Structure 1
């Protein structure tokens, strides 16, 4: 058990608010950027269809550091690390605003990601160690509300800031919020550490991290980086070799980063693999839709941002009906049917063109938001529901990593498809940006549908035990 001293009433009252600030900063940043990509591309003299590295750099950095977050907090203390995380995130935001080239922007996003990777896990760790278990559901529900508001406010706010001021302000907006967060952490967050010091699996961390980086760069090599196919294959082979080496080693050491024993639980295995493949399709959605609206259909940044509101609003509403539906129909039926529906709705965006009624487009995006939210809720819950308390923390950490990694791979894959279809059209003398978007949506829809075969491996009885609270992992 962690060292826990009784909290004074003021500290106990303010901790959830401080953690909520961090949740809001990261949630807002994750959605406000997508609407601004075309404006950023114009200012940096880049192709707006090749800006995915700005998103991938952040997501991949977050995925890399999540496994080490608990050990770092135990080693240096939650107060110091939480303060440093918000400071790093704010510094990265400032450097993003000052960037004058795509390379500088990507480097600044990596710094932002270093802070973002620690903010949420360490924030949850503070709550876990500061309050009795009986209070956790109430407090976690409170601090995740700002996280749900981020996707609702982000695209619209990003569109208006780009149109009225400039894209730099989507990053400068983080500075006053970060300053308040740093002050609040230093004043109210206690320095909590675990009572047991475990040895960090540094070799496993390097092998697992190298696998993620190499595989992601290989995907990027097919798109934005324009690497030769031989080099892409070498990177992909090296990444798979590092991953194989990690799993072989993890089975023979005492405290691996993620134990292979987790996969003896069938619902966990199905949930992790289903998350990986289903998110490859749906993870590209926030990246592709603002580009489709602005680059292919000629929407203004503010119009594109406001068009994303149904997506986020429907996602929030769907959370209230997810649990009753899962309890009524079971995880196998919900995940299999919902995954097929998700793929069909993604592919349906391939029918959108200049003649599509705006109301119909908003309806499509609203349905996508609701189905996507149902997908994440069911996938996240079934992944952890059958793990015992001893494995729950490690399983949740691996689920967080897979979620971030699959989202970054989804964006990389969408960028590669978009670039490939655009190049193929140009080679045939038919330059149609809209046509490239349409083919990309159809393809990622089909990719998402294939994940239904994974969820069909669940039995009808899987997940029928007493439900855990839904893990706090968002798209």
Structure 2
């Protein structure tokens, strides 16, 4: 719930100065962790004795946990206070990181990632909520811009750092480095994080949360299990039907509840409806690439972990560079034209990785990755500002929460889908210690990139439903990824 300036807490000078740094540290922890793991997957798989093509569960477990718990983050902060929840978030994230480093098997790692995801689901939303309530409106945008900068640094250094640690030290350190950062975050939070609660907290829709979460988990596990053939067809179909039933039950429940988990009024806003659905399908492709590309570089092209990590830097650099032109393009062309054309281009860029040859020049691949990063970032900026641009005070919180859930869920499904396609196209070829890069797997990677690219491009049909005047160009002033 928003506050007027008269209702905002009085902060001392030290808190006003250092609170943005505390929240920025949380942003950095989360974005670093999301990107540092991908480059390390082949090395982790070797130590854990599993096929690298089946390591996606370590990523999906985290993303799915975050998606499931995001809707509860605001209510928890209102109920227990921002400092209390923020401290618990750091503690759970750090504890989960330690458990990940100590994991002796893939199932243990997946369980530890779930614990880490509980903390990750609360870190950024509660930090953002604290800033929203602590700073007046005229200071909010500059503070959030400052906080977002470490969120850009995390993806920039994460893949390279993950590759270097895996190759020269041990993959365990990609999790252990979170511990000193977490300790610093706890000490800083105890001093500079205010204990804020809503003056009139809304009732939490516990029944809706249970139905929605159950549907989310059942559908995701069913699709992942069927795609990888790790569960029987009968069990998978039962889980799929049960998940759909839970989602339908939630929809009916929301229609009769005064304060549902997500406002049904959101779906009466054309730009929100189209933007949300478009996000699902476009991110199936773009969400798969952070998982797929480091595997492709190492298992397909024969790059070392450190070299593969460095090759991911152009993607992030291209994404950062596109921020300077995104708003000008949207203002000049409008959302409909930008999203339709860029979605097709995004699909084509993903599919074009199927043309990358073994032993090709490094500069050409780096340029390819940079161009992909630019197109991908423009897609995120346009989709998210379109989706949120016409929300009002009543729907802003619920709409932003649902978009965050959809983003995490789509990335989870993208990772699961690309992994299932890799296994399908590889014909069950295992990747053991004696595997020679590029021999049995290049055709599998090429088929996967083509399929993922086509799926991403199909989202253009969704964005084509926009009318030429729909979407506010001014919404692009608030860039979101």
TM norm structure 2? 0.95
* SS across alignment from 2:427: helix
Q: Does 1:342 align with 2:346?
A: yes
Contact 2:390 2:472 (C-alpha < 8 Å) held by counterparts: no
Q: Does 1:277 align with 2:285?
A: no
Partner of 2:36: 32
1:380-425 Cα distance to aligned partner (Å, 9 max, x none): 0000111112111110110000000100011011111111111277
Partner of 2:13: 9
Q: Does 1:405 align with 2:409?
A: yes
Partner of 2:243: 239
Shift of 1:189: 0.7
What does 1:65-464 align with in structure 2 at a 5 Å threshold?
65-224=69-228, 226-423=230-427, 432-464=440-472
1:174-230 Cα distance to aligned partner (Å, 9 max, x none): 000000000000111110011112111111101111111011111211344622223
Shift of 1:471: 5.8
CA distance in 1, matches of 2:243, 2:303: 39
Contact 2:38 2:290 (C-alpha < 8 Å) held by counterparts: yes
Consecutive unaligned residues of structure 2, counting only runs of 5 or more, are 431-437
Partner of 2:433: none
Task: Please say which of residues 352-361 and 295-304 is displaced more in the overlay.
Answer: 352-361
- Relative to structure 1, the CA distance from residue 303 to residue 199 in structure 2 (aligned partners, 3 Å threshold; closer, same or farther) is same
* SS across alignment from 1:18: helix
CA distance in 2, matches of 1:114, 1:334: 36
Task: Give RMSD over aligned pairs.
Answer: 1.5
**Equivalenced residues, count:** 470
CA distance in 2, matches of 1:245, 1:152: 42
- Relative to structure 1, the CA distance from residue 23 to residue 366 in structure 2 (aligned partners, 3 Å threshold; closer, same or farther) is same
* SS across alignment from 2:259: coil
* SS across alignment from 1:199: coil
Shift of 1:239: 1.1
Contact 1:425 1:431 (C-alpha < 8 Å) held by counterparts: no
Partner of 1:47: 51
Contact 2:214 2:243 (C-alpha < 8 Å) held by counterparts: yes
Shift of 1:432: 2.1
Contact 1:56 1:412 (C-alpha < 8 Å) held by counterparts: yes
Task: Please say which of residues 25-34 and 193-202 is displaced more in the overlay.
Answer: 193-202
CA distance in 1, matches of 2:471, 2:171: 45
* SS across alignment from 2:197: coil
In the TM superposition, structure 1's runs of 4+ consecutive aligned residues that sit over 6 Å from their partners are: none
Shift of 1:5: 2.2
Contact 1:137 1:469 (C-alpha < 8 Å) held by counterparts: no
